[in-house]
Amino acid sequence: MRAGRISKAFTLAVAAVLALGACTAAPPAPEGSTAATASPGGNVTVLEPSPFTSFNPDSTTGQGATNARIDYATHSGFNYVDNNLKLVRNDKFGTYEKLSDKPLTVKYTINSGVQWSDGEPVTAADLFLEWAAGSGYYNDATLDANFKVARGNAYFNYAGDTTGLSQTSMPVIGDNGASLTLTYTKPFSDWETALGSTVSIPAHIVAARVGLKDANALVTLLQGIPKGDPAAPVKANPELRKIANFWNTGFDTKSMPDPSLALSNGPYLVKGITAGKDLVLTRNADYNWGTVPTLDTVTVHYTARPEAQIAALKAGKADIASPALTQDSAAALADAKSGGVQTQVGASLGFDQAVLNFKGVLAKPDFRTAFLKTVPRQDIVDQAAKPVNPGATVLDSFVFRALQTPYKESSASNGTAAYAAADIDASKKLLAGATPTVRVLYNKDDPVRSTEFNLMAASARMAGFNVVDDGKGAGQWLPALKAGAFDVALYGWTSNPTGSVQVPQVFRTGAVSNLNNFSNTVVDQLAGQLAQEPDSAKQDALKMQIDKLVVGAGYGLPLFARSAAAANGPHVAGVMYSPVPVGIWWNVWDWKYVK
């Protein structure tokens, strides 16, 4: 995944997606230095908190932070986002240009010589398959109140938002299969990152796996299938279903699969996977359509606990990590400096929040407000955020960050002022003697979330809530969140660094990242307008309206923005902190081994 890709899957704690501008303070330079010189070749070891599970991070089963980072290292595309949150075009891969504003028309052209690791060229067929999955073009499904298919068909289980690509007509392939042209039926604010930031899924492999001759046959088949119409659903197309089913889960794996399912078109190749233990990347010797890496191999190990990550760095058993920042881990990083560990700390695009489920016990508005009245946000900041960042403050917006110009105006008018401090008496009055039982879901392996839960639970119990600790381990809490198995959930979004269309992905009725059954017709309308609005000032006005409506509905409460760290040992150079979702991986091609 290129960091600028709008609708790549959320990876909770997690890359998903609120509409944020690129307003993040530059991180300080690394602490410490080394007189050693970098040399070509060599291996570095990276620690990630969760195991790799899929070569398709765009699918609902394949989304995840580690999957997205491996995808980024092994695939290439038309652009990426750097550590200053600037969109950088990769003209060595190909070019894209806006041919027209009315209608919005964009042409993508892949350069000659760009190829998959099996020697097959990357072509417009690969872009076409990406469009097919990300547009929802063929779907004719109608969803029920639980956002399940009531009639019709939903084919590709795409984990991103389809707002932009759903407004395109059938793409046109040209230049002997090297180009693809998209025409939008409506203006789209985020057109530049809607398609091809990373080309991850080889169409010729999908074709072979579903019994088609080649990628061209796949495209021909898809071109012959009409656009789905939920008002007039038709019988499921078996050939389309077969293609979509393989796209949905065919690339999921916890161990090294058939090599055809692990193809690369980026700087590195996946050489081997040991389930739950490690993954090894090796340099793609053919890659020259981007910055060419110098490392021979990158080994990825899985270590969930930040203290264990830091200990491994200090002991020389690992070279690179992004340990979650807590009071203990910050102290451990400071101590590790004596062992040659360098640390960069900067603002992140992630923030913590308490989100209420609109189904179940908190469906009652008074109960939602009563619970929110008990949330001790300042205490949470004091005990969970300030030990890492003394300047941390309560976050008062779901849509804006404090460094953005509209933040002060939106936070002053969106209604969060009513929850500036816990008000137990007001909560008791709303409960009127009731003692609702609420299940609070969070990642119990995250010490920050554990602190948040303990403070929140103690306060809510004072008002009369029966709070159930439903915290789960790192591998269990996310499935529970996606299943809606909670009344209150503590989790964070890592906001995408570019664009505005991410807002619908979280707040629109039935959206893929709408995890708490929130539904508001006015928010749906505003989110739709936002996706089409090219003017930044008008975008901010729409976001402010959404911010106010979300808070007013009792959606939950934002808590605080997180800081993040990048740490590396003395045997690697080129590691640079970035707030983008892929973090330190953003410039993986610049990493070098230091003797």
Residue 307 has pLDDT above 80, yes or no: yes
Q: At what angle do helices 447-463 and 424-431 cross, to 10 degrees?
A: 60
Identify which of 105, 55, 95 has the alpha carbon closest to the alpha carbon of residue 206.
Answer: 55
Backbone angles phi, psi at 572, to 5 degrees: -145, 140
DSSP state of 593: E
Residue 342 has pLDDT above 60, yes or no: yes
What is the distance between the alpha carbons of residues 193 and 57, in angstroms, rounded to a whole number? 16
- pLDDT, one tens digit per residue, over 204-220 is 999 999 999 999 999 99
Give the model's pLDDT for residue 389. 81
Give the model's pLDDT for residue 405. 77
* DSSP code per residue over 157-202: -B-S--TTGGGB---EEEGGGTEEEEEBSS--TTGGGSS-SS--S-
Domain 348-562, CATH among 3.40.50.1100, 1.20.200.10, 3.10.105.10, 3.50.50.60: 3.10.105.10
Q: At what angle do helices 521-532 and 536-552 cross, to 10 degrees?
A: 160
- pLDDT, one tens digit per residue, over 135-151 is 999 999 997 766 678 89
* Average pLDDT rounded to a whole number, residues 306-327: 94
All residues at 6 or more sequence positions from 563 whose CB lies less than 8 Å from its CB, including other chains: 325, 345, 346, 347, 348, 385, 388, 389, 392
* Average pLDDT rounded to a whole number, residues 102-118: 97
Give the model's pLDDT for residue 15. 33
What is the distance between the alpha carbons of residues 13 and 10, in angstroms, rounded to a whole number? 8
All residues at 6 or more sequence positions from 290 whose CB lies less than 8 Å from its CB, including other chains: 76, 90, 92, 93, 266, 267, 589
Sign of the C-alpha dihedral, residues 177, 211, 199, 501? positive
Sign of the C-alpha dihedral, residues 515, 518, 521, 525? negative
Reported as a pLDDT band with limits 50, 70 and 90, residue 349 is: confident
- pLDDT, one tens digit per residue, over 581-592 is 899 999 999 999
Residue 445 has pLDDT above 70, yes or no: yes
User: Which has more confidence, 68 or 17?
Assistant: 68
* Average pLDDT rounded to a whole number, residues 288-303: 97
Percent with pLDDT over 70 in the chain: 92
- pLDDT, one tens digit per residue, over 256-295 is 999 999 999 999 999 999 999 999 999 999 999 999 999 9
Q: Residue 465 is which amino acid?
A: F
Residue 409 has pLDDT above 70, yes or no: yes
Give the model's pLDDT for residue 25. 35
Domain ranges within the chain, ordered by starting residue: 76-246, 348-562
Residue 42 has pLDDT above 60, yes or no: yes
Mean pLDDT lowest among 15-19, 30-34, 509-513: 15-19
Reported as a pLDDT band with limits 50, 70 and 90, residue 500 is: confident
Reported as a pLDDT band with limits 50, 70 and 90, residue 496 is: low
Residue 177 has pLDDT above 50, yes or no: yes
**Residues 44 and 299: beta-carbon distance below 8 Å:** yes
- Whole-number average pLDDT of the chain: 90
* Class of residue 483 by CB neighbours under 10 A (exposed 0-12, middle 13-18, buried 19+): exposed
Residue 64 has pLDDT above 50, yes or no: yes
Reported as a pLDDT band with limits 50, 70 and 90, residue 33 is: very low
Residue found under tokens 């070891």: 45
Give the model's pLDDT for residue 499. 66
- pLDDT, one tens digit per residue, over 520-572 is 999 999 998 888 787 778 889 999 999 999 999 999 999 998 888 999 999 99
Residue 27 has pLDDT above 70, yes or no: no
Give the model's pLDDT for residue 497. 67
pTM of the predicted structure, to 2 decimals:
0.78
What is the distance between the alpha carbons of residues 471 and 183, in angstroms, rounded to a whole number? 46
Domain 76-246, CATH among 3.90.76.10, 3.40.50.620, 3.30.70.1560, 3.40.605.10: 3.90.76.10
User: Which has more confidence, 178 or 498?
Assistant: 178
Give the model's pLDDT for residue 146. 63
> Hey, what's the torsion of the CAs at 158, 163, 165, 168, to 10 degrees?
140
User: Which has more confidence, 345 or 23?
Assistant: 345
The gap between the terminal CA atoms of the chain, to the nearest Å, is 30
What is the distance between the alpha carbons of residues 541 and 535, in angstroms, rounded to a whole number? 10
* Average pLDDT rounded to a whole number, residues 73-86: 92
Residue 22 has pLDDT above 90, yes or no: no
